[in-house]
Structure 1
Amino acid sequence: LSWLDARGKPVVALGEFRVPADSPRLIESKSLKLYLNSFNQQRMSGVDEVQARIAADLAAAAGAPVSVVLMPLSARPQRRFGYPQGDCLDALDIAIDTYQPAPALLRADGPEVEETLYSHLLKSNCLVTGQPDWGMLVVRYRGPAIEREGLLRYVVSFRAHNEFHEQCVERVFCDLMARCRPRELAVWARYTRRGGLDINPFRASHAGLRADEAMEVRQ
């Protein structure tokens, strides 16, 4: 995002916004993009003023406190790209014919394990525009082993589904909890950028669970 300093010179920054999973409202990405672009010609006294203004406005929109961190490019912020420390499901040789969310595909009847599984084949569609949303889905859990072929079929079943990013991840989390009953579960997605925004929903069963900080290569 960008704004003008007190003397009218543009400032450019990266922004990170964290909205709690239990907030009563979602902030739709297109409206967020338009809101952030409204700062382009505004004179601000400094990063702290911009950060405080955005935090207050987003909290009012979401109905919950929103963490805002702005990193001016002059400070040379770094982003780390990588892959989860786990097993990718995408090479499984399976047939797929279901393209709407189908939780019945999920099974967990193996021995108890602790593992991370992920797939780059996540695709859903924007609830407002119908445009495709591409991403990587990560499932980290401890509990009965999840049947991998069924999990990959389930991930692909979102391919023709229209829903916001956050709703998709919430749906995956709830379906896995209901169908597979892990003792611990964390689910997150790294979606490719739309309008300069990458959206990375995260949902976990316990407060101590964390997503990997690395960004997906397509972001």
Structure 2
Amino acid sequence: MQHPAEHSPLGKSSEYVSQYAPELLFPISRTTKWAELGLTASTLPYQGVDFWNCYELSWLTPSGKPVVAIGEFAIPADSPNIIESKSFKLYLNSLNQTAYADRAEVEAVLTRDLSACAGAPVAVRVRSLDEVAAEGVAALAGRCVDDLEVSVNDYAHPRPELLRCDVNEAVEETLYSHLLKSNCPVTGQPDWGTLVVDYRGPRLDAASLLAYVVSFRQHQDFHEQCVERVFLDLQRLLKPAKLTVHARYVRRGGLDINPYRSTEAITPDNRRLVRQ
């Protein structure tokens, strides 16, 4: 079946437009991928947000002097559409030679255009380099599972059958792995990330989680759907009292994408990790 992004600019030669062009934004309905996971907009078992961070944001002042900044865009996990990443980059580049009165005007333009494309309100913050630098690099809480010994020989598709838990022991813990890798479903380019699982329920076997994460290595899907697949597989296994799954992906093309999915109302920490 043709992927919904096949009609987008992704994987195609594109002219880089340097004057404001909101028509460059390309929405992709979440419905198709939700259906693959057995979900609909009315049956989502999670809430959450997709944080996009842009490190190549620039525009002109009224006097013609360039400004550089870092943009943060929070797209609701239940929005009708995701925004195709190359179209997002092309759109952001179209601000490069466009003059704006101040940062507030840039934020207003971005909020309007991105919300229209996503089909839901998108929260936008445009920050100076000093503001972001002051936050530093975040350190993850919890236990890293990457030093555990596992045997893996199948990397083509996620293998939820690898996951195991101890139903006789209830815990509340956070586990994470830096070994998440998947591939873009259109271009085949690698997407690298860190996966974090925070839960309360039967103890998840940490080695089995690592093997499961590694099984994504040749899987083709967008960042958002990879995290949703992990969330659903863990929810089926653990039937947890609470579950949050998120991934911090390495930036590509000046953008990083960080999906969060949770049974709880959460306020995610969007500080970057060392690889971002």
What TM-score bracket applies, with the shorter chain setting the length? over 0.9
Q: TM-score, normalised by structure 2?
A: 0.76
* Displacement of 1:107: 2.2
State the one-letter code of the partner of 2:206. Answer: R
Asked whether the equivalents of residues 186 and 210 of structure 1 are also in contact (C-alpha less than 8 Å), the reply is no
**1:1-219 equivalent positions in 2, closer than 5 A:** 1-73=57-129, 77-99=133-155, 100-110=157-167, 111-207=169-265, 209-219=266-276
Kindly provide the CA deviation profile for residues 93-140 of structure 1, in whole angstroms up to 9, marking residues without a partner as x: 111112111111122224110000000100000122110001100000
Identity over aligned pairs, percent:
58
Kindly provide the CA deviation profile for residues 17-42 of structure 1, in whole angstroms up to 9, marking residues without a partner as x: 00011011111211111110000000
| Aligned alpha-carbon RMSD (Å) | 1.4
* Displacement of 1:75: 5.5
Asked whether the equivalents of residues 188 and 211 of structure 1 are also in contact (C-alpha less than 8 Å), the reply is no
- CA separation in 1, counterparts of 2:90 and 2:236? 37
List structure 1 runs of 4+ shifted beyond 6 angstroms. none
* Displacement of 1:163: 0.6
Unaligned runs of 5+ in 1: none
Asked whether the equivalents of residues 108 and 145 of structure 1 are also in contact (C-alpha less than 8 Å), the reply is yes
- CA separation in 2, counterparts of 1:40 and 1:22? 31
Unaligned runs of 5+ in 2: 1-56
Name the residue aligned to 2:16: none
- CA separation in 1, counterparts of 2:238 and 2:179? 21
- CA separation in 1, counterparts of 2:250 and 2:153? 25
Asked whether the equivalents of residues 71 and 77 of structure 1 are also in contact (C-alpha less than 8 Å), the reply is no
Q: TM-score, normalised by structure 1?
A: 0.95
The alignment covers a number of residue pairs equal to 218
- CA separation in 2, counterparts of 1:74 and 1:179? 44
State the one-letter code of the partner of 1:24. Answer: P
* Displacement of 1:210: 4.1
- CA separation in 2, counterparts of 1:166 and 1:41? 31
Change (3 A) 1:64 1:40: same
